[in-house]
Structure 1
Amino acid sequence: MDFAFTEEQQMIRDTAAAFLKASSSSAAVRAAMVSDKGFDPALWQSICADMYWQALHIPEQYGGMGLGYVELVAVLEQMGRYLLCAPYMSSVAMATNALLVAGTDAQKALYLPQIIEGKIASLAFNSASRDWDACAVSVTYRRDGNDFILNGNYRYVLDGDNADVMVFAARDEGSVGENGISLFVCPTDLNGIERAALPTMDQTRRQATITVTNLRLDESTVMGDVGKADKHLNKILDLATIALAAEQAGGMQEVLDMSVEYSKSRSQFGRTIAGFQAIKHKAADMMLRGEVARSAVYYAACIADEALNDGPLANELSEAASIAKSHCSEAYFKNAGEALQIHGGVGFTWEYDVHLYFKRAKASEHFLGGSGYHRERVAKMLLD
């Protein structure tokens, strides 16, 4: 595979970096993360209407740009670098992928244009399980004629309290493991849906709990075959995992840049600390971890393109996603910790942004599975 950006991909990456540097500054992030919604609606509309990023890999027949996952990952890397507070990960990397992977033609035609217009969407599947695959689903459904009745609680739902459209994963009553899983897509204004923001360590990314009580959905909401959506869900989560790893890679680069810049301005014993060998070693190690992360992420993005287009390497998606996430989760948190050390005491203060990246690193390390979870997953794949 050729990992060099095309001229178009480089332009997309550079445009994203320039836009986010101006619009997702430290002051903007701090204002958005404490707001009622957790993001700036005006900025979100600018992203949707002016940048058109939410349409990057949506097919042209639904109004999208028809680009690939590499282009999407290039933008996500810059979003992670500038800690963008926006419902992009939930709407694009989770809900849009769910529609592309499992949605019917009618569901794609209905919901993808809404997402392009700026509607917020998300995916709910986990109910406080340590697993991050189809086995994590515990919300149940039962048949009532041609309808489905859902009951249960979801946690860790990205932007779930702000979403206009939700994709719900639920299992048939009495089923276990990956059996009996179904996916449903519906608007969030239906009776039987209760949502509440979930207090989290990382204020830059909103999560919510959702309770469904006798939520009645008709057959038009079913995505794929009833009771056989486990493979669809796992594929959706693999694609989301790659997207999250891309954000982590961007965050790694930013904490390195912040640390190098600070080390050039901080003097100790008559010279800047950038000249000390110990600081040089830390920076070199941080750079190495970031370069490895970027290689793993863009390889996984190429595999994601194969998976979305049923290419010959589509069966490598889970392995590529877990390799990228296992490294990025550990490396981002390590780099954020080193950044705190280089900044010294001020790194822990509210005035400096290092702590925001440190919290994002820890939160994203566990979301969709930590390094240990994904290493064990890869080991099981090798044994199968």
Structure 2
Amino acid sequence: MDFGFNADQEMLRATARKFLENECPSEFVRARMAEDAGFTPEFWTKLAEQGWLGLVYPEAYGGAGLGFVDLTVLMEEMGRAVMPGPFFSTLLGGLAILEAGSDAQKKEWLTKIAGGEARVTLAWTEPNARWDAAGVTTTAKASGGGFTLSGTKLFVPDAHVAQALVVVARTREGKNPEEGVSLFVVPTNARGVSVKLLPTMDQTRKLSEVKLSEV
């Protein structure tokens, strides 16, 4: 059994390495570390043109329809270049929508992500610093045919430059902590959403505090 990469994956690696050596030298990385945004719109557009923002999304949503091994090859090269910006955070948000979103949400957001028109991140952790379902205290209460969200999310990657958040919130309490934990796509410009950039040690990875006040 061959556990090596195939020819297409090695070609992807070579293409990514050449691109990142040209477009993401150390000077570019240091400049982005010194800025709040952590990336440039021009660089983000180039990632979209390479097809990398939609690499693992179905072609129906503008993606390339490739797999996670291909994604691993690409992200290895991104790590080699210490590429800054919201690629990984948008991947987290996009994959959550791909896995759990409605058809309408997939069509809207995955198409925008793949085209470089939107950045989406996953808002999971809270001030209690727990990673399990029991740590989700942000509430989602039924209201007017939808839900109203309230709570605080901490260490949300790149929320300050995202157009939407995939928020983990609790719709009900149950005997099992996982009961009632749901995902909601929340535009960052929605009324009641507040985002504050946090100081971090790794300035290639920007983190934020997100407060939801009856969103």
TM-score norm. by structure 1 comes to 0.53
1:10 CA displacement: 0.5
Q: Secondary structure at the match of 1:54?
A: coil
* Alpha-carbon shift at residue 174 of structure 1 (Å): 4.2
SS at match of 1:108: helix
- Tell me the distance in 1 between the aligned counterparts of 2:39 and 2:146: 36
- Are the aligned partners of 1:160 and 1:207 in contact in 2 as well (CA < 8 Å)? yes
Mapped pair 1:63 → 2:58: no
Q: Deviations over 1:141-168 (max 9, x none)?
A: 1112412111110011110011002111
In structure 2, stretches of 5+ residues that fail to align are none
Residue 173 of structure 1 deviates from its aligned partner by 4.9
> How far, CA to CA, are the matches of 1:166 and 1:2 in structure 2?
39
Q: TM-score scaled by structure 2?
A: 0.94
Mapped contact 2:154–2:209 kept (Cα < 8 A): yes
Per-residue Cα deviation, 1:302-354 (whole angstroms, up to 9, x for no partner): xxxxxxxxxxxxxxxxxxxxxxxxxxxxxxxxxxxxxxxxxxxxxxxxxxxxx
**Matching residue's letter, 1:41:** P
> Which has the greater radius of gyration?
1
2:54, 2:115 within 8 Å by CA — same for their partners in 1?
no
1:135 corresponds to: 134
Residue identity opposite 2:108 in structure 1: L
Q: Which has the higher strand share?
A: 2
Contact 1:157–1:207 (CA<8 Å) still a contact in 2?
Answer: yes
Where do residues 138-177 of structure 1 align in structure 2 (5 Å cutoff)?
A: 138-175=137-174, 177=177
Question: Is 1:200–2:196 an aligned residue pair?
Answer: no
Q: Does the 8 A contact of 2:37 with 2:161 survive in 1?
A: yes
- Aligned residues, how many? 213
Superposed CA deviations along residues 346-384 of structure 1, whole A, max 9, x for unmatched, are xxxxxxxxxxxxxxxxxxxxxxxxxxxxxxxxxxxxxxx
- The residue type equivalent to 1:9 in the other structure is Q
Given that 1:126 and 1:138 are in contact with CA atoms closer than 8 Å, whether structure 2 keeps it comes out as: no
| Correspondence for 1:103 | 101
Q: Which has the higher contact order (CA 8 A, sep 6+)?
A: 2
* Counterpart in the other structure of 2:75: 76
Q: Match of 1:87?
A: 86
Q: Which has the higher helix share?
A: 1
| 1:21 matches 2:21 | yes
Cross-structure match for 2:12 = 12
Deviations 1:10-39 (A, max 9, x none): 101111111112222111100011113111
Query: 1:60 offset after TM fit, Å?
Result: 0.8
3-state DSSP of counterpart to 1:178 = coil
Distance 1:78 1:213 in 2: 40
CA RMSD of aligned residues (A): 1.5
Inter-partner Cα distance in structure 2 for 1:183 and 1:6 = 36
1:122 and 2:110 correspond: no
Query: 2:101 corresponds to which letter in structure 1?
Result: G
Aligned residue for 1:21, secondary structure, equals helix
> C-alpha separation between the residues in 2 aligned to 1:157 and 1:174?
24
Identity %: 39
